[in-house]
Amino acid sequence: MKLFPMVAACLLAGPVGVASAAERPPPGASSCAGCHAEGAAMGAIDGRPEAEIAAALAAYRSGTRPDSVMGRIAKGFSEAESQAIAAYLARQGQP
Amino acid sequence: MNTTRRALLAAGASLALARPALAQAAPKVVVIGGGFGGATAARALHRGGLDVTLVEVNPTYVACPFSNEVIAGLQPMAAQRFGYEGLARAGIRVVHAAATGIDAGARRVTLADGTTFPYDRLVLSPGIDLRFDAIPGYDEAAAARMPHAWKAGEQTLLLARQIEAMPEGGTVVLAVPGNPYRCPPGPYERASLIAHVLKTRKPRAKLILLDAKDTFSKQRLFQSAWATLYPEQIEYVPLAEGGQVSAVEPDAMIVRTDFAEYKADVACIIPPQRAGRIAIVAGVADRSGWCPIDPVTFESRLVPGLHVIGDAAIAGAMPKSAFSANAQAKVCAAAVIDLLAGRAPETPKLINTCYSLVAPGYGISIAGVYHPAGGVLADVEGAGGISPVDAPRSLREQEALYAADWYRTITRQVFG
């Protein structure tokens, strides 16, 4: 029965409709939308290129891109965490 | 993994296995409290595919961030009010009623009219209640004379009217409680903006700031700005110099400390606080009046199956702010979704940013990054802190702009 793999997948994934683990934002990423939006001075970041976001976070963290607020926040994330956040944000807002 | 989390994960897994997936509806989550925490949680849980009911007694939410600007006449009250139509449009069931009972055993919430809602998980975002038993003389009746304005709404407008009507050479007394309380820098922003009104419109008037502690959030930034902007307006009295209010006499407009008696034309008394009433009813508040939580899931350490976010939670180093509530709500919602799907929740990191306006076009900020460590939410070393004390005026202007944009962004995101 062709449907069986889907049924089995649903059973394994838990209750119907509950979001899958793959959609989970990496640590810290869900906080970003508190400030970053279209039209705000902080600017929207959803859907921006991954490399651009990662480079910006690295520059804030090292202090080569001066910014009062993001400098303080970026220092709380490792390079790997920043990369994961960049990849996640880049995926948002994409069709 | 601690015993409680292991047991709960097992419970979550058995819940998933006990019900045939195709025959069941989405798991039910009830969220109580529709502020920055609760409304954000409701949206995130709904997006995660859960059946969400948001229980909020008020038909309109009145935001506390920027309410100090309303008091100073810099922001219209209309900009603080938000309806719940946006959440309803998103597909969230919004019920405007008071939650009066929680049966954690039967997993059921009871509303004032007797309606009950079953839940698989319950998220509480009840905010704060003011402790009207903490300062002799300061009860609910006294607040009509000496507003706290610490829950935005009529109290905000009352304080604004009192300052407007105050005599030219009058005295404002502003009393600040000890920690913890909602919005740590809020009283000092309020002092700053009232001082701005006095300086520009009643230059002979002054503000006496009575503080029940000796140190406070963004202290160096505030005090440096006061020395420059309001040297004639603000008189700061810390705990060590007798700043703790011991009693008030609202009829005579007198505020007492152990050392002095202050006659006020306007008295704003911010009393000590505790978690909102439903947290007490639910049994999730401890003797401190606040709610201990697991820093990964925000699940109550006292009542399994209940999660507490926002001002009511004991969130370790994270301050009680709207930004914190919003960040916690998303982490809590992700954990609830994971638990209901039988997955282990991911260890989170959370951010808080908080702006204060010292004067129009003059903003300051504090930021922090937090992670679970030692059973609490702790500061990530090396991150966070306040804006530079010796910053040029252009940075103050930028932070004032950021503050206004943050408010627009967060309220649009939360209330739609």
Task: List chain A pLDDT tens, one digit each, 95 residues.
Answer: 444 444 444 344 444 456 666 678 999 999 998 899 888 888 899 999 999 999 999 999 999 998 889 999 999 999 999 999 999 999 997 65
Helix (H) or strand (E) holding B187: helix B186-201
Q: pLDDT tens, B302-352?
A: 999 999 999 999 999 999 999 999 999 999 999 999 999 999 999 999 999
Quote the minimal CA–CA distance from A50 to chain B in Å: 20
Paired with B103 in beta bridges are B108
Of B68, B88, B93, residue with least CA distance to B163: B68
* Contact in structure between B379 and B370 (CB atoms under 8 Å): yes
DSSP B305: T
B52-89 residue pLDDT tens: 999 999 999 999 999 999 999 999 999 999 999 999 99
Predicted local distance difference test score (pLDDT) of residue A38: 83
Encoding tokens for residue B64? 């506390």
* Cβ contact, residue pair A28, B365, below 8 Å: no
* Tally of CA atoms within 13 A in the half-sphere of B267 that contains its CB: 25
What is the distance between the alpha carbons of residues B304 and B16, in angstroms, rounded to a whole number?
17
Q: How far is A7 from chain B (nearest CA, A)?
A: 8
Task: Note whether A13 contacts B341, CB cutoff 8 Å.
Answer: yes
Residue B65 DSSP one-character state: T
Which tokens hold the place of B27? Answer: 């798991």
Distance CA B304, CA B286 (A): 14
Instruction: Give mean pLDDT, residues B164-193.
Output: 98
Helices (H), A1-95: 4-13, 50-62, 68-74, 79-91
**Cβ–Cβ below 8 Å for B369 and A27:** no
State the pLDDT at residue B212.
Answer: 98
Is B3 a residue whose pLDDT tops 50?
A: no
Q: What is the mean pLDDT of residues B389-398?
A: 95
Q: What is the mean pLDDT of residues B362-377?
A: 97
Nearest CB to B405; choose among A32, A33, A42:
A42
Question: Per-residue pLDDT for B228 more than 90?
Answer: yes
Residue range B232-254, pLDDT digits in tens: 999 999 999 999 999 999 999 99
Mean pLDDT confidence for B282-300: 98
